A and B are shown apart, each in its own frame.
Chain A
Amino acid sequence: MTAILTMGRIFRGRWLATAGLCWLILVALAAIFAPLVAPYDPLEFDPLVRLSPPSQEHLFGTDHFGRDSFSRSLYGARMAIVIGFGSVVVALVAGGLAGMISAYFTRLGHVIMRIVDVLMAFPALLLALVLMTLLERSVVNTVIVIGIVYATTTARILFGMTLKLKGEVFVDAATCSGAGHASILFRHILPNLVSPLLVQASFIFAFAQLQAAALDFLGLGLPPEVPSWGNMLSESRIYVTRASWLLLFPGALIILSVFSMNLVGDALRDSIDPRFRNDIKGV
């Protein structure tokens, strides 16, 4: 109940962010109920109707194998959510731990943060490309690679915040009551980092979609047989002049979802840090 009230407070007066939230809920529902909603099997070939434009039977048209684009999009939503949550978990756990431990044990931190600096020196996509070429194409590997890419920024952010929190008097007070290092890090400092972590998670979720789509498009992401929005784009790009709907629908889905996620992330961030609230009132 309090969760609903808090959500109401965060999204009050922000119709665009609310619309974004609704879209994301819709995507989540589509992902969960894909087998029930999808009119066709997303992997079923039907050469008779290949490259047919959107119609009553095929809402989003069909691709060069005659697979139903709408059904594939629904299953693609599943991949989007798996990639999003997976990357968030990997990035927050790996980056969060690295950042917190670096700030707490300064000597070890010098080593860890220099590694993070090196990783950050590469553009995100390039780093993901390099790592993907070393690994096999699979859902798990894609999640891990995208997670590692965003773990670097998470580590940086948490490093700074932990460094600040470490100097707070309540940490001294905890030390005085006999708390050990683990207890101080995870019971006294970590709860103070929950809100920035939440905001960070919402942005990673959004950027992971773009990153995954880019990797798929370049043929280095999910295996080609997996229906994902990025793979759909990648397979259909040669038909752009003959069957533009094949690029239009998955492209629109990616854009809408990433945009929505960013709007929700903005709303979350503003609820924590109200400094910019007036600049974007009503958005």
Chain B
Amino acid sequence: MTRPNTDASDLLLDMRGLTLGVATPDGILPVVQDLSLSLSTGETLGIVGESGCGKSLTSLAIMGLLEGTPVRVLAGEIFFRGRDLLRLSPRERRAIMGNEMSMIFQEPMTSLNPVYRIGDQIIEAIREHRPMSRRAARDRALELLTMVRIPDPAGRIDSFPHQLSGGQRQRVMIAMALAGSPRLLIADEPTTALDVTVQAQILKLIVELQKDTGMGVMLISHDLGVIAETCDRIAVMYRGRVVETAGARELFQDMRHPYTRGLLDSIPEADEDVDRLSAIPGRVPTLDETITGCAFHPRCARAGAGCDSDQPALTAFAPTHFARCHYPLEPDA
């Protein structure tokens, strides 16, 4: 199914009004509401938010991994290169997955099959879409391992996952994801389980690979620092909705939503002597709490009249800068 009025040919991913809900005995609770985001070729989009804000579920919906979870797509469309992923048959979807788009996961400890040598896993991923001899696939696997800068790829290709460190496993995972030369790579918290020094290396690797291959990258993280270093554009999510989206520089220089401010303030400064860490007051509301109006208002210092009754609309502050707030922050003078 092609989308009408597709003008930008480099538009890779275009989600429109995506709504996800989880079925419970008390009815369907929305977990992602009316999410509209797009991603172009060569662009890195960062999605940031606290646990449970729906960022991971969004990535699972794109990859079609919601099957077997209680979460369902209630409405919306996910266009990938002009085709609605939600309307594809399982066969058509499998042809795209791993080939045109792939994903890397949070836990490099469990995302590799423990009983396979890493080389065989990569070969498996390669041959899933390209019929080639094992020898040719092995050469390609070596090439991929070199690409993700595994030291001594020829010696490592026959290792089992448990023989590798967390960072190396994540590199193998990235090599597997790149097996089909995807146009879109979704990275769901790719560095969360890693040491800080390794985190930086992996992020650098993803950025470099993205530059070399020109693929679009969707990076999901709860760490604003990670996102800031790597992304061209950032979407901040809170409780299933995008509350602010802007270019990376734009967002940090001119943030409008109090929640974005709160996230930034929560990062402790290394060069300042702070006794108390600043945090956003309150807690993330649970899914079954109904909050009328802006979902953030119970925790928001700027909340005023209307915040508890009217859901604010996404308002443009600049051509590429939108925020969802009745009382947006003033730009820093």
Contacts and interface: CB of A to CB of B under 8 A. Distances in A.
Interface of A: 166-170, 172-180, 183, 187-188, 191-192, 194
Contacts of A174: 113, 124
Given A169-B105, A176-B102, 6 more contacts: A173-B176, A176-B103, A176-B177, A177-B102, A178-B95, A191-B115
A178 B97 contact: yes
Contact of A177 (B65, B107, B179): B179
B115 A176 contact: no
A52 B124 CA distance: 65
Given A176-B97, A177-B97, A183-B128, A170 B112 contact: yes
B94 interface: yes
A156 to B, nearest CB: 21
Contact of A180 (B94, B125, B177): B94
B124 A176 contact: no
B229 to A, nearest CB: 25
Contact of A172 (B65, B96, B177): B65
A172 B110 CA distance: 10
Interface of B: 63-65, 68, 94-99, 102-103, 105-107, 110-116, 124-125, 128-129, 173, 176-177, 179-180
7 contacts: A166-B68, A173-B111, A177-B179, A178-B129, A178-B180, A180-B94, A194-B115
Contacts of B97: 175-178
Contact of A168 (B110, B129, B173): B110
A177 B112 contact: no
A177 to B, nearest CB: 3
Contact of B111 (A166, A170, A183, A191): A170
Nearest to B93: A178
Give chain A's interface secondary structure class: helix
B115 A192 contact: yes
Contacts of B64: 175
Contacts of A169: 105-107, 110-111
Contacts of B113: 170, 174, 188, 191-192
Nearest to A188: B113
Contacts of A176: 63, 65, 97-98, 102-103, 177
Nearest to B179: A177
Between B63, B97, B129, the greatest number of chain A beta carbons within 10 A of the residue's beta carbon is seen for B97
A177 B180 contact: yes
Contacts of A183: 128
B105 A172 contact: yes
B99 A178 contact: yes
B162 to A, nearest CB: 13
A267 to B, nearest CB: 21
A179 B105 CA distance: 16
Contacts of A188: 113
A176 B114 CA distance: 17
A279 B303 CA distance: 64
Contacts of B63: 172, 175-176
B173 A179 contact: no
A191 B98 contact: no
B116 A191 contact: yes
Contacts of A166: 68
Contacts of B98: 176-179
A66 B320 CA distance: 100
A56 B97 CA distance: 74
What are the nearest 9 A-B pairs in CB distance? Answer: A177-B98, A178-B98, A177-B125, A169-B111, A178-B97, A191-B115, A169-B110, A170-B113, A176-B103
A278 B180 CA distance: 48
Nearest to B112: A170
A170 B110 contact: yes
A178 B115 contact: no
A13 B318 CA distance: 75
Contacts of B106: 169
Contacts of B115: 191-192, 194
A256 to B, nearest CB: 35
Contacts of A175: 63-65, 97
Nearest to A170: B113
A192 B114 contact: yes
Contacts of A180: 94
A178 B103 contact: no
A188 B63 CA distance: 19
A178 B94 contact: yes
Between A169, A179, A188, the greatest number of chain B beta carbons within 10 A of the residue's beta carbon is seen for A169
A180 B63 CA distance: 14
Between A178, A180, A191, the greatest number of chain B beta carbons within 10 A of the residue's beta carbon is seen for A178
Between B64, B106, B128, the greatest number of chain A beta carbons within 10 A of the residue's beta carbon is seen for B128
A191 B177 CA distance: 21
A192 B173 CA distance: 19
